């Protein structure tokens, strides 16, 4: 049972990492906000119940990242945390009661519309826009100042003279519906992929390298929070009015509420009225008004205790199922997709919906020409949630049966016991798998080879220049330069990126191999324990099971991968090309066992290093990180503004409380 729980946690983490990446980096999410939040809540609860399985790199420990390496990264003065989400008014009541107990005094709540765009943080110095930074990973983000200057609703110079000398303002960049529709019509004419929704279009626009193109997109912006020293007032609502006076666009829908009844009335009113707005919204944000009370309530690791986001339920429509097609992913997983009669849903026309797997198809009892209910939360890829059985005529439509053979290569599909997905086992010849593995290998979190998008990979595959990842290191300039899609300059840049990738650290190469079940975090753990690829190839199942977070499924997958002759030959080619197949000297020299067997909990803010840096240091020296204090905790690393609950529990369990200087002395760092 313990092993099953561990494997479920690991699977959830890997799935949520992928969804975070698709959402923040690719701007191509495949599940709704609601589904994501449910999975995140499930993982959070399981981690709380199993603190010994804590991982500093778990999705619960971070906000998600939209960092693009083509921009400079800037650190936020104040971390950009996410908000806790809820979908029921009962949970709003629970939030209200928690605040009431936490303050034990009267308070007001400011209700605001939750705009569905791209978060931005603007820094103003002496009344002028100085810097614009995306959310990134919450600690640092991309400097997109030049692009932000093109948005006409953002003031470059402030009105008046009563603003602080330096302050930060948070807001949301948005693409109005009419601009989004016009942009997609133009892209359709040019036979370019359409944006799924205004949020994705906004995210893509902000990351463009040419600010003149950004200017043509006619983006908008609303602002919702003021931060800094010497603020004009000690309450959020009046600070918003000041922002409006200084020239910022602040929603007219902001309302100060004193009771739960007023909050409920606000939520109900905007559930309907928001559909008449010129920009996308997906919920309501509630914030305690008093900044003093906000400070007293404080923060959890991920979100403020004084704010919460209420998200409206997904919209639903009825349309007709016309056919089902099947897509093959890089690991061979086959995903069914429903092709529908076009229907308008959440402001966009829906023609396709995910069916996930064979079990979902069977559960829905789908037939061709069925009238189906389609939902789409937050304007993301929709899904079929039911069938109108009353509308099905006797004998109508062929029953949908999951395919038995791969739609791309014809191989017989397999289904592993205990898993929902079918997959194609033809790793060596199935085109989507071959191209998918190359796309994964060159991705930012793996080898980070810029200039090799899916279309270029497809071209090189079709003409026979690229059949596997090792072929990348055999590409020649004279062949690439002849291709219409590349040309001499692009070919030169691409080869420079490929050459640079030879210095990519071993743990990222291991992740880039795309071994089933070996995600980014697990690849790091294996690399740090086994030191080089040769030892991993020689490892037994028992050897691998000694590594933290490696269970039977991962161990067997690794062994199966290296048992295949083709994969061993691939590794030899990568070795001959000069890639890093072992940990670098810097990584090896920094590792010690000084904290071996010790478990740490970190709370608060620090001056010498960030929380994440301390978590990395602890692991580097043999220690373990945990998210919650328990009898298994050896040390509580305490910073400024640490959580009172953790401190109280540590004291009650007589756990040693240490400072950052204490920790640095323990690992032998020079504090001078």
Active site residues: 114
What is the DSSP pairing of strand 85-86 with strand 307-311?
Answer: parallel
Cα–Cα nearest to 35, from 43, 46, 26, 24:
43
**Number of neighbours of residue 414 by Cβ within 10 angstroms:** 14
Q: Phi, psi (5° rounding) for residue 602? A: -110, 135
What is the DSSP pairing of strand 656-658 with strand 635-638?
Answer: parallel
**Spatial distance between the Cα atoms of 119 and 149, rounded to a whole number of angstroms:** 15
Inter-axis angle of helices 89-103 and 260-273, nearest 10: 140
**Spatial distance between the Cα atoms of 355 and 247, rounded to a whole number of angstroms:** 47
The set of residues, in sequence order, having a beta carbon less than 8 Å from that of 369 and lying 6+ positions away, is 320, 321, 322, 396, 397
Q: Phi, psi (5° rounding) for residue 122? A: -110, 135
What is the DSSP pairing of strand 128-134 with strand 599-603?
Answer: unpaired
The DSSP element (H or E) to which 310 belongs, if any, is strand 307-311
For 49-60, b/e burial (b = at least 16 CB within 10 A) is eebebbbbbbbb
| Residue showing tokens 């308008």 | 344
The answer to whether the beta carbons of residues 588 and 450 sit under 8 Å apart is no
Q: Phi, psi (5° rounding) for residue 502? A: -65, -20
Count of alpha carbons within 13 Å of 169, Cβ hemisphere only? 32
Sort residue 338 into left (φ over 0), alpha (ψ -120 to 50) or beta: beta
**Spatial distance between the Cα atoms of 228 and 664, rounded to a whole number of angstroms:** 31
**Number of neighbours of residue 276 by Cβ within 10 angstroms:** 6
Strand order in the sheet with 128-134: 128-134, 118-125, 166-174, 220-227
């Amino acid at each position: 049972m313990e092993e099953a729980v561990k494997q479920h946690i690991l699977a959830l983490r890997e799935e949520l990492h992928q969804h975070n990446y698709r959402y923040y980096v690719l701007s191509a999410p495949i599940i709704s906000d609601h589904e994501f939040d449910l999975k995140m809540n499930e993982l959070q609860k399981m981690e709380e119940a199993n603190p010994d399985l804590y991982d500093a790199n778990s999705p619960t420990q971070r906000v998600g990242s939209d960092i693009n390496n083509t921009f400079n990264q800037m650190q936020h003065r104040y971390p950009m945390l996410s908000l806790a989400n809820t979908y029921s008014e009962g949970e709003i009541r629970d939030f209200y009661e928690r605040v009431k107990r936490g303050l034990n005094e009267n308070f007001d709540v400011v209700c605001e519309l939750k705009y569905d765009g791209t978060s931005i943080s603007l820094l103003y110095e002496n009344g002028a826009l100085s810097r614009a930074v995306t959310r990134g990973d919450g600690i640092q983000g991309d400097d997109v100042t030049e692009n932000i200057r093109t948005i006409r609703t953002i003031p470059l110079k402030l009105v008046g003279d009563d603003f602080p000398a330096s302050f930060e303002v948070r807001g949301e960049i948005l693409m109005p519906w009419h601009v989004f529709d016009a942009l997609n019509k133009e892209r359709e004419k040019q036979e370019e992929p359409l944006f799924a929704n205004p949020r994705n279009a906004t995210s893509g626009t902000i990351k463009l390298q040419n600010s003149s193109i950004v200017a043509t997109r006619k983006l908008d912006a609303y602002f919702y929070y003021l931060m800094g020293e010497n603020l004009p007032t000690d309450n959020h609502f009046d600070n918003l009015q000041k922002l409006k006076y200084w020239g910022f666009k602040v929603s007219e829908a902001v309302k100060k509420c004193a009771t739960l009844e007023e909050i409920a009335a606000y939520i109900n009113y905007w559930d309907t009225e928001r559909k008449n707005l010129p920009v996308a919204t997906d919920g309501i944000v509630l914030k305690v008004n008093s900044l003093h009370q906000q400070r007293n309530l404080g923060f959890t690791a991920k979100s403020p205790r004084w704010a919460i986001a209420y998200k409206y339920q997904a919209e639903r429509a009825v349309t007709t199922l016309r056919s089902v097609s099947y897509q093959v992913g890089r690991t061979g997983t086959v995903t069914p997709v429903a092709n529908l009669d076009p229907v308008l849903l959440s402001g966009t026309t829906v023609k396709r919906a995910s069916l996930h797997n064979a079990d979902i198809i069977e559960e829905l009892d789908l037939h061709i020409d069925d009238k189906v209910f389609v939902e789409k939360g937050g304007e993301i890829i929709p899904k079929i949630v039911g069938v109108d059985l009353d509308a099905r005529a006797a004998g109508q439509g062929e029953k949908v049966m999951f395919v038995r053979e791969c739609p791309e290569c014809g191989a017989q599909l397999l289904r592993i016991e205990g898993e929902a997905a079918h997959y194609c086992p033809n790793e060596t010849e199935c085109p989507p798998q071959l191209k998918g593995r190359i796309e994964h290998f060159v991705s930012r979190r793996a080898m980070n080879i810029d200039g090799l998008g899916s279309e270029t990979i497809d071209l090189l595959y079709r003409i026979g220049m690229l059949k596997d990842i090792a072929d990348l290191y055999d590409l020649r300039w004279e062949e690439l330069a002849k291709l219409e899609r590349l040309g001499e300059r692009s070919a030169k840049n691409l080869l420079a990126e490929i050459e640079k990738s030879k210095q990519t650290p071993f743990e990222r190469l291991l992740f880039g191999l795309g071994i089933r079940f070996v995600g980014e975090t697990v690849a790091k753990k294996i690399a740090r324990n086994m030191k080089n690829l040769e030892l991993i190839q020689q490892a037994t199942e028992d050897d691998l099971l000694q590594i933290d977070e490696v269970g039977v499924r991962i161990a067997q997958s690794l062994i199966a991968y290296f048992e295949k002759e083709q994969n061993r030959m691939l590794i030899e080619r990568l070795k001959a090309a000069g890639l890093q197949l072992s940990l670098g000297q810097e990584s090896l020299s920094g590792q010690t066992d000084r904290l071996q067997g010790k478990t740490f909990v970190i709370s608060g803010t620090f001056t010498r290093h960030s929380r994440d840096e301390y978590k990395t240091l602890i692991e580097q020296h043999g220690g373990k990180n945990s998210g919650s204090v328990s009898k298994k905790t050896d040390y509580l690393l305490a910073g400024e503004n640490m959580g009172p609950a953790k401190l109280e529990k540590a004291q009650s369990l007589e756990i040693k409380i240490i400072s950052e200087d204490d920790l640095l002395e323990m690992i032998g760092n020079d504090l001078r």
